[in-house]
Amino acid sequence: MATVNSADQLAQRAMEAGVLDHRVLQAVRGELGTRTVDLHTLQQELLRRNLLTQYQLERLTKGLKTGFFYGDYKVLYCVGAGTFARVFRAVNVKNNQIYAVKVLRNRWLAEADSFRREGELGASLKHPNIVPIHEVVSKRDTHFFVMDFIEGRNLREFTRVRRVFEPLEAANILEGMIAGLNYAFQQGVTHRDLKMSNVLVSSEGVAKLLDFGLAALESEAAGEAGVKRTVEYAALERATGVRKDDTRSDIFFAGCIFYHMLGGRSPIPEGRDRGKQMSKATFQSIPPILSVNAGIPPTFAKVINKAIEFDPAKRYQTPAEMLTDLKIAAKRLAERGADKPAKAELSSDEGLDENGEPRRLMVVEANVKMQDLLRGLFKQNGYRVLVASDPNRAIDRFYNDVSAAEVVLFSSGHIGQPALEAFNRFGQEPGTREIPAILLLDEQHGKWASAADIGEHRVAITMPVKQKQLRQVVQQVLSRQAV
């Protein structure tokens, strides 16, 4: 089909695809005051009102007819893509809940049975540290499964920003990973593709494992075609002489992840030709973690060293063994006062409620450095800080949990006008309009202040602003709501 050249063509294709209905389009045109709307104006209006996403609009304008729905799930946009599948953020049209939908690529339809078994295996695992799979669909040329959408980022992305983690923060993430591995091990399942990109860290700091069974279920046909999902696993198994479903291989790579978080670099060399680097010597010549970072607590170094022993017999034999040592090491470190600042060590206790509990503040900001700056500012003053990079996702969280946060800070700096639109929408929705909110406008966006829907507990401020002033504004809107 030819590309879209007019507003009427766009409207027609949106209705044919099922992403918009005639009544909504009529309402939009009515509010614009004319039926003779040009293509660009209609596109921008549909995006501004969140009636279409950029992903949907691009497919419509290219004349594509598929990729808008998978079963009852309307695709909003792509959040990740790998060799075999793409992952989309989608909304269930029946209950309006947000999910992640993983879809097999068309060129791998020959692997549909393996993909289906992967989904079914994942669906059988029910644990807080494993991303749950709710539905598996495998019909004709359509193969997908539906998972929880986790607000956060994968550990690889997290590590690129943090470089080196605080010991107890890293231990908390690893503890969740090992708890998930231990549960799966008890069900007779190993992961076989444990790496940072397969560990999600939620906005609340909870580690959740992805893609159980993806490597183990790879068919012989795919292997013959040269597909290598788990180069490191295969090389380690070959070098140590263990079978491919040995849980001690998962333990080795869990240790490598802990090493990377605390040492700031991977113990396994990374490069374009990973296969050539996966020799026996690669696993035998890993530098001791304390030679990479001498400041790591010795008890954590011992956990790492035992997990990445080359000889499988000298490693932890089960995830439960590793989890026990990790918890003991973390408890001892915490008892020495190194886990988190005591109340007296906070810059202030303004973020604590009358019971001494942290108030929940959500920061909506797309730039990672700015996220960390705001997180640090408010955390040091007693708040519990949640972070979201997409303003619409942030609002969606309140549909599932109206108490997700007690105050929300929308920052326009790297989000732009959608931050203003989300701030206004937040003040209009019945479930969120009573929640205090702040619109932090970048200096170049100051002119938008007049378009902000403000009120007693809703304010807009323009950069530059001092940190103390920003904290005072947060206190101000919280106190006004209380009144």
What are the angstrom distances between the C-alpha of 324 and each of 220, 247, 328, 335, 380? 37, 16, 6, 17, 31
pLDDT at res. 206: 93
pLDDT at res. 95: 92
Domain extents in the chain = 7-61, 69-148, 153-338, 360-482
- Residues 19-43 have a mean pLDDT of 85
pLDDT over 70 at 230, yes or no: no
pLDDT at res. 339: 37
pLDDT at res. 277: 57
- Give the chain as a 3 state SS string: CCCCCCHHHHHHHHHHHCCCCHHHHHHHHHHHCCCCCCHHHHHHHHHHCCCCCHHHHHHHHCCCCCCCEECCEEEEEEEEECCCEEEEEEEECCCCCEEEEEEECHHHHHHHHHHHHHHHHHHCCCCCCECCEEEEEEECCEEEEEEECCCEEEHHHHHHHHCCCCHHHHHHHHHHHHHHHHHHHHCCCCCCCCCHHHEEEECCCCEEECCCCCCCCCCHHHHHCCCCCCHHHHHHHHHHCCCCCCHHHHHHHHHHHHHHHHHCCCCCCCCCCHHHHCCHHHHHCCCCHHHHCCCCCHHHHHHHHHHCCCCHHHCCCCHHHHHHHHHHHHHHHHHHHHCCCCHHHCCCCCCECCCCCECEEEEECCCHHHHHHHHHHHHCCCCEEEEECCHHHHHHHHHHCCCCCCEEEEECCCCCHHHHHHHHHHHHCCCCCCCCEEEEECHHHHHHHHHCCCECCEEEEECCCCHHHHHHHHHHHHHHHHC
Percent of the chain clearing pLDDT 90 (strictly above): 53
pLDDT at res. 276: 54
Size of the chain, expressed as the number of residues it contains: 483
- Residues 185-213 have a mean pLDDT of 89
390 counts as catalytic: no
Percent of the chain clearing pLDDT 70 (strictly above): 91
The model's pLDDT over 397-417, given as tens digits with 9 standing for 90+, comes to 887 777 889 999 999 988 999
pLDDT at res. 204: 85
- Residues 348-373 have a mean pLDDT of 86
pLDDT at res. 203: 84
Interatomic CA distance for residues 43 and 35, integer angstroms: 14
Under the banding of pLDDT at 50, 70 and 90, the label for residue 429 is confident
| Catalytic entry in 21, 113, 148, 193 | 193
Interatomic CA distance for residues 322 and 329, integer angstroms: 11
- Residues 211-216 have a mean pLDDT of 61
pLDDT over 50 at 217, yes or no: no
Contact status, residue 341 vs residue 383, Cβ threshold 8 Å: no
Count of Cβ atoms closer than 10 Å to residue 307 Cβ: 26
pLDDT at res. 78: 92
pLDDT over 80 at 42, yes or no: yes
Architecture of the structural domain at 360-482: 3-Layer(aba) Sandwich (3.40)
pLDDT over 70 at 273, yes or no: no
According to DSSP, the residues that pair with 441 across neighbouring strands are 462
From the candidate CATH numbers 3.30.420.310, 3.40.50.300, 3.30.200.20, 3.50.50.60, the one assigned to the domain spanning 69-148: 3.30.200.20
pLDDT at res. 224: 36
- Residues 94-112 have a mean pLDDT of 91
Under the banding of pLDDT at 50, 70 and 90, the label for residue 392 is confident
The model's pLDDT over 284-325, given as tens digits with 9 standing for 90+, comes to 889 999 999 988 999 999 999 999 999 999 999 999 999 999
- Residues 137-151 have a mean pLDDT of 92
Top-ranked range on mean pLDDT: pick from 177-186, 291-300, 440-449: 177-186
From the candidate CATH numbers 3.40.630.10, 3.40.50.800, 1.10.510.10, 1.10.1040.10, the one assigned to the domain spanning 153-338: 1.10.510.10
Contact status, residue 147 vs residue 89, Cβ threshold 8 Å: no
pLDDT over 50 at 221, yes or no: no
According to DSSP, the residues that pair with 364 across neighbouring strands are 388, 410
Under the banding of pLDDT at 50, 70 and 90, the label for residue 341 is very low
pLDDT at res. 227: 40
Rg (CA), the chain: 25
Name which of 86-100, 190-204, 332-346, 382-396 the model is least confident about.
332-346
Report pTM: 0.69
Under the banding of pLDDT at 50, 70 and 90, the label for residue 94 is very high
Q: Kindly report the CA angle at 308 between 235 and 220, in degrees rounded to 5?
A: 25
Under the banding of pLDDT at 50, 70 and 90, the label for residue 220 is very low
Under the banding of pLDDT at 50, 70 and 90, the label for residue 372 is confident
pLDDT, the chain, mean? 87
Under the banding of pLDDT at 50, 70 and 90, the label for residue 118 is confident
